[in-house]
């Protein structure tokens, strides 16, 4: 089944070149089914690239998913992207009275800022609280994962002295976890962050479960008991060259910027990196949409709430 987006969204062209099934809304409206309603709150400055990365993963599912792109009322980007936002994004204030089956909140380049110093932090907290009563399951990515864990569970991230950048091995901590169903015992995920949440911090919270991680990256995949909140501290959505682009930007600021670990062949930055994490990325998003959205959300979307769940996968 396809992902449904606005007909003119630029991401459609690139995704179709990859044989990703994306259906324009004009065609989807002719089908008499109850598609999933999913929103993406995109906090990244590179809007189109981020859209492509997440929609690609969402499209690998037998479910039809209608995607709304959201923006905060108080978050302004560069003038060059305002036209794109005006065409394809909806303000939070415009959807406050609506419900969604699923929500993704992306990361943001706010590595060293305290949360209170983020200009849109107050509205983002309101957004977090709104999602608890208007969304069946919310997936928090990277910086948003740390921000969500702080807001909902009081967990304060540590700031690493050096950036964690590279592709790292992870282990699954449950044999039959719904989110990690089909995963290998070890799998690879890219990371690019300074923030750090340790397994010990998660273990202190009875309402949180750490599903995967490693001594190097700390806690990677976390959920609350009901599955209404899923936290991912890495970047399974990344393209093969995303870490390369970030490294090149880092070099422009610091000629001694460290290379991403376990990324370049033979640790040689002149060689083209390979994408070694894609299969588990697809599986993670497919599992999330199946077990914590499709199988738990009510058929009547007006009944969506964290308290209305028809199933419970409490690993």
Q: Which residues are catalytic?
A: 142, 235, 237
Q: Which two tokens stand for residue 108?
A: 């943001």
């Amino acid at each position: 089944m396809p992902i449904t987006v606005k007909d003119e969204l630029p991401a459609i062209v690139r995704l179709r070149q990859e044989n990703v099934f994306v259906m324009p809304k004009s065609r989807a409206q002719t089908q008499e089914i109850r598609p999933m309603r999913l929103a993406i709150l995109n906090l990244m400055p590179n809007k189109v690239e981020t859209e492509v990365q997440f929609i690609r993963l969402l499209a690998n599912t037998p479910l039809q998913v209608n995607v709304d792109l959201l923006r905060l009322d108080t978050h302004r980007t560069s003038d060059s992207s305002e036209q794109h936002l005006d065409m394809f994004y909806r303000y939070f204030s415009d959807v406050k009275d609506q419900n969604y089956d699923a929500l993704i909140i992306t990361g943001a380049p706010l590595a060293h800022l305290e949360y209170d110093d983020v200009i849109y932090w107050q509205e983002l907290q309101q957004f977090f609280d709104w999602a608890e009563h208007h969304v069946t399951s919310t997936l928090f990515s990277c910086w948003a994962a740390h921000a969500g864990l702080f807001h909902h569970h009081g967990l304060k991230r540590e700031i690493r002295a050096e950036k964690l950048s590279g592709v790292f091995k992870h282990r699954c901590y449950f044999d039959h976890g719904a989110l990690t169903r089909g995963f290998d015992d070890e799998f690879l995920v890219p990371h690019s962050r300074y923030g750090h949440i340790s397994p010990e911090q998660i273990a202190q919270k009875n309402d949180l479960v750490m599903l995967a991680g490693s001594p190097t990256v700390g806690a990677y995949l976390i959920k609350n008991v009901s599955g209404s909140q899923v936290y991912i501290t890495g970047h399974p959505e990344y393209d093969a060259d995303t870490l390369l682009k970030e490294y090149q930007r880092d070099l422009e600021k610091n000629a001694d910027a460290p290379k991403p670990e376990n990324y370049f062949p033979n640790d040689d930055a002149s060689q083209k990196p390979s994408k070694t994490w894609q299969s588990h990325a697809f599986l993670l998003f497919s599992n999330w949409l199946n077990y914590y959205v499709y199988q738990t959300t009510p058929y009547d979307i007006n009944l969506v709430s964290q308290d209305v769940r028809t199933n419970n996968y409490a690993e």
